[in-house]
Amino acid sequence: MIGHVTEERYAALVAGARELVATMSRCQFALGDHALEIEPMQSQGGAHGPIGRACAPHCSHYALAISRIYVTE
């Protein structure tokens, strides 16, 4: 016994947890890819676009984060 579960159940729980972490990691990278498509990273140095830009890159990333993408209606 490990805690209140058998060793077999413990191994199954650990395997399930590892699968969940892998899924979460893939989701985080996919969300990052979507955010970078909306607002690509700027190259180091050089011109940074027009002066007086209405929204800095972090604004559009924030807009993606707070949008209602989780609603399924």
Q: What whole-number distance in Å separates Cα of residue 4 and Cα of residue 35? A: 43
Amino acid at 54: A
pLDDT in tens, the chain (73 residues): 999 999 999 999 999 999 999 999 999 999 888 888 887 776 666 555 555 455 555 676 667 666 766 555 5
Give the per-residue pLDDT at 18: 96
Per-residue confidence (pLDDT) for residue 46, from 0 to 100: 57
**Are the CB atoms for 7 and 1 separated by under 8 Å?**
yes
Q: What is the pLDDT of residue 37?
A: 86
Residue 5 confidence (pLDDT): 95
